[in-house]
Chains A and B, each alone.
Chain A
């Protein structure tokens, strides 16, 4: 699609969508959001870019082939699930670390659950982009 307006807007939109997708990912544990939704949003961002400019440019902006992102995400999710075995828990048991926690403040919560969600995010985004890019290029 050759539209200057769309192209100009797309550049802005992509950034916004990506930031928003990460925001959705991170807030997911307590409010609506999470890896699935974040991944979908991230994918939509790049799809908008691909439609406005071209798939080649979108691929370049992504830097890494999307299918690799998906597989990497799958690996991240798996490792985060297996990490609990190091603490002799069953696989996929969430491990938590409350950084700098005090009596009243729980500090910065870090967990393997978040890592798992990041894996989900990457898989969803990577798989959808793999599909959409291939569709756009081949049809």
Chain B
């Protein structure tokens, strides 16, 4: 798409407005969060709460502490830069304004997620991020691959979201509140609660699908189908960090147990090592970066497993480090793609001559990614090592961190060093420097990596320390951030990592081909996903074929047999049926016998006749009989409705029946016998239900309430109508909405195109 869009006419003024408006929204949100920095640095926690469903104790509440503020600043700040970048990157795109709408919605959802202090508020925003990211990943909706990736991301994270909702409800039940801050402050120890394990599993399912931990990682590299700025945004600051955020937020509540430690440590380590191997295997800039994002997510998860102050500091710091360099590198990849027409690393080279500013930004970001001094990434790596040797299972965590970091150095070289600094290569387009709006983001973000590296105190006090405090609920002591920590074990580990990383970079082509030949033997999660989805569709098709045969007779049989088994079975199972009541035959008057006679005759006519019209009229007579029952027992409203509906049914049937062929009833005697059997059985079950219901004492509380309140509170004497339009107006509204939809649906079915094209127009 990057090649084609330059030929399109420039966007209109309104379109351009949409872009600048989004930038302004993001920038002002950033400014707003910026001014919260002071109070939060001083240890203050800001909370806003609004009632939502007060009767169920559900509120929309937001909380700003070190953790949520760090996320909010990253989301709004990187958001503003990405949007500024996109105003140029997508200039002239036919869906320019739509793109900014999605992106702004996504940013809002993400901010809501990290600021939410109520479990259900969090869930709503959690799902909103899934939906908006679905729209963003599938933005190029004309491409089948793009649609597949979007759907995959939606289904994987959506399924995780459902698990999360279940976990939240269990947690709410266990803790007695849905407010996160109250759960943390409360005296219910969730980790010792009987429901702890189910809660933990459900929360981890939510977090691991969102943050693409093994084995749910496969959707993330596919999400690269999105336009590059979206990848930069989703993979640096936001969407995928949602799961990590959840783990951090739940750390005081659910963490500190062996299950927590081992699950997070193993899943995180496996994801980190696997992803960094996969990163080196790729040749597409965006794919490499996608896998390095997975590596970062794995690392963050791994360090959130521990209670150790160093480990939490490592997670918090690496979160910031990664957001800065990853957003910068993705934006650089976008510039390279935009200006050269390719993202294949083997076709890129010598770009520093044509795009020196991009090259400088890429170099700074890559140095931070590789963890070299004096960048923030170096401090991040030092703290990671300092933490890993202090944690339980230190050898395991240290080995994983070292392997992943060494591979990161190689990946950083492939992504950001080779395309710019090796010999020149011919590219599809003649490269030149990107425009300022696209350069602003990467340059600023890369420069921040350097600035924070030189002066770590800028982020240590307000963000990292307060974040650590929030994650550990004040229990852990944050590690000190400095460039030179003296000669110690982490320093040796760093030196070893750099040596290993440089060696890996030098031989990365051999590593790649070795990985390729290994990769062919390994099972592919992505193909497994396809098989699961195909199986699901097959199951749906199979049960549809069975239940929805298209033959009216089969439908009626299905419904009635289900009713018979479910209701009749329940009656017998529970022994609720108390036997036939004593009918006071002597008290019955002529009118009662008349009604019975009418209904019996109507039924007889319907079953015996061979004429459709006669059958319908017979049914109508039954309906009239029922209406008379209502009149006899004093329910005129119901009776009128019943009569009118019966009339309409007869009219409708007559309209249709007159045009149908002659009724065929000669389709075999056994069939008729079966029909009779089923009909009798259904009649018996319904009678049994009626008898059972009426044999119990009738609770007249509601009747009495409505009888007395209808006039005094709703100024009406017709209780039925007052209930319909006043006491239960919302129900009635739902019903008439159904009526309207049903009418229009029937209309569109009858009037719709006659050809078979209406079937399955995916």
Contacts and interface: CB of A to CB of B under 8 A. Distances in A.
Interface of A: 24, 28-37, 40-41, 43-44, 47, 51, 66-67, 70-71, 73-74, 77-78, 81, 91-92, 94, 96, 109, 111, 113, 116-117, 119-120, 123-124, 126-128, 130-132, 134-139
B721 A132 contact: no
Contact of A32 (B636, B656, B715): B636
A47 B651 contact: yes
Given A37-B644, A44-B647, A109 B715 contact: yes
Nearest to B656: A139
3 pairs of A and B residues whose beta carbons are closest in the complex = A127-B743, A34-B721, A40-B644
Interface residues of B, number: 39
B729 A92 contact: yes
A73 B751 contact: no
B641 A36 contact: yes
Given A34-B718, A131-B747, A136-B655, A44 B742 contact: no
Nearest to B754: A138
B747 A134 contact: yes
B722 A29 contact: yes
A40 B648 contact: yes
Contact of B747 (A67, A73, A78, A91): A67
Nearest to B742: A127
A36 B655 CA distance: 23
Classify the secondary structure of A's interface with B.
helix
Nearest to A119: B736
Nearest to A98: B715
B656 A120 contact: no
A28 B747 contact: no
Given A92-B729, A127-B739, 11 more contacts: A29-B722, A34-B725, A40-B644, A40-B648, A44-B648, A71-B740, A116-B725, A117-B721, A119-B736, A127-B740, A134-B750
A129 B396 CA distance: 73
A74 B645 CA distance: 21
A32 B637 contact: yes
Contact of B743 (A91, A113, A130): A130
A84 B614 CA distance: 50
Interface in B709-748: 714-718, 720-722, 724-726, 729-730, 732-733, 736-737, 739-740, 742-744, 746-747
A135 B645 contact: no
A73 B655 contact: no
Contacts of A43: 648
B604 interface: no
A30 B645 CA distance: 22
Contacts of B724: 34-36, 120
Contact of B648 (A32, A47, A70): A47
B648 A113 contact: no
Q: Name the residue among A34, A47, A136 with the largest chain B CB count within 10 angstroms.
A: A34
Contacts of B640: 24, 32-33, 37
B652 interface: yes
Interface string B656-696: 10010000000000000000000000000000000000000
B718 A120 contact: no
Contact of B718 (A29, A92, A139): A29
A28 B717 CA distance: 9
